[in-house]
Every structure is written in structure tokens, then in C-alpha cells.
């Protein structure tokens, strides 16, 4: 599911940019005559160390092959404060996250708001199965998970915390 979500966000990002044949870059954005090779990830905590190192190598290689270009590691949601230590330590190219990412690739500071509005509308209208919208299915899954959690740990308070600690120590 996480991968599917990431691919969906990547496809949205492609609508604001050019395709790329460069290994390590999902999209290419040209601004002011400069190419920006962008690796698109869904959020700020998405990759292990070895992948971060490999993506850095690929993006830097793309940058060397196209003198004057810029390599960017783009994250579709989150804030700079939420970026994982792995990304901070091992991604050795520029990073851009959340609202700034969407503004950069779309040239519209309100782009992310429009994407959220469209997603909310689709989730309320799109029927995943007859009579069930995507929003209804998600709400059902949240209720199911909540009930399962409460069955295991309780509703709240000291009893719940004691159960969590007892079952997870």
C-alpha cells in the first residue's frame, strides 16, 4: 500500500514536469533554463541507508552528465523537521519537502491545497466496491483497527498503558 501511494504521488508530480530517462531521477523539471533531476519519494521517512547512498550516486551521476543541472531529493509530504536522520545524513543532494516540493514543481504556492481538495473529493465519490466509497472503506478500516486495539489494550488510562507495556516488553 505504501508503494502504491508513492507511485500515485509520483504520477501526480509527473503532471507538472517532464519525463526523464535518467536513472535515479523520476522527473525532470526545467526552470530558468536549468534542468532539475528529481527523485520523488512520498514522505520524509521513506528510505534505508543503502538506498539513500545509491540514490545520491545516481542523482550526482545525472548531474555530472548534464553540466549545470541540479539534483534534488523531493518528498511529497511532511516538513523539514520531519525529515529522517538517514535522509539528512546520506542524501548528498538538495532536498525539498511537502508544500515547498509541490510549489517547486508546479510553480503554484497553492498546489498542495488543490491536490488535497481533489483527493478529498475523489475519496468521497469514487466507489471501490458497489455502495462503498473509498472514504467509507477507510473509515471502516479505522474503526476496525480501533476496535482491535481496544480489545487488546483497553480504551484509555492506566489500564491501557499497563497492557501496552506488558504485551510489548
Contact 71, 62 (CB under 8 A): yes
In the predicted model, what is the mean pLDDT of residues 145-150?
A: 93
- The structural domains of the chain, ordered by start, are 2-109 (3.40.1560.10), 126-167 (no CATH)
d(CA 51, CA 47): 6
Average pLDDT, the chain: 90
Q: pTM of the predicted model, to two decimals? A: 0.77
Q: What is the pLDDT of residues 97-143, one digit of tens each?
A: 999 999 999 999 999 999 989 988 888 888 888 888 888 888 999 99
* d(C-alpha 27, C-alpha 77), whole Å: 17
The whole-angstrom separation of Cα 100 and Cα 92 is 19
Q: What is the pLDDT of residue 2?
A: 54
Amino acid at each position: 500500500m505504501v508503494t502504491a501511494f508513492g507511485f500515485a504521488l509520483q504520477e501526480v508530480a509527473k503532471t507538472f514536469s517532464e519525463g526523464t530517462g535518467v536513472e535515479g531521477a523520476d522527473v525532470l523539471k526545467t526552470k530558468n533554463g536549468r534542468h532539475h533531476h528529481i527523485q520523488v519519494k512520498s514522505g520524509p521517512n521513506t528510505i534505508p541507508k543503502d538506498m539513500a547512498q545509491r540514490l545520491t550516486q545516481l542523482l550526482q551521476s545525472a548531474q555530472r552528465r548534464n553540466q549545470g543541472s541540479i539534483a534534488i531529493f523531493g518528498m511529497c509530504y511532511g516538513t523539514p523537521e520531519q525529515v529522517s536522520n538517514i535522509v539528512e545524513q546520506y542524501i548528498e543532494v538538495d532536498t525539498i519537502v511537502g508544500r515547498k516540493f509541490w510549489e517547486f514543481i508546479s510553480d503554484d504556492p497553492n498546489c498542495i491545497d488543490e491536490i488535497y481538495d481533489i483527493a478529498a473529493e475523489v475519496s468521497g465519490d469514487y466507489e471501490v466496491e458497489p455502495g462503498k466509497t473509498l472514504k467509507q472503506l477507510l473509515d471502516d478500516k479505522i474503526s476496525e483497527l480501533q476496535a482491535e486495539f481496544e480489545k487488546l489494550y483497553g480504551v484509555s488510562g492506566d489500564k491501557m498503558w499497563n497492557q501496552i507495556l506488558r504485551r510489548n516488553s
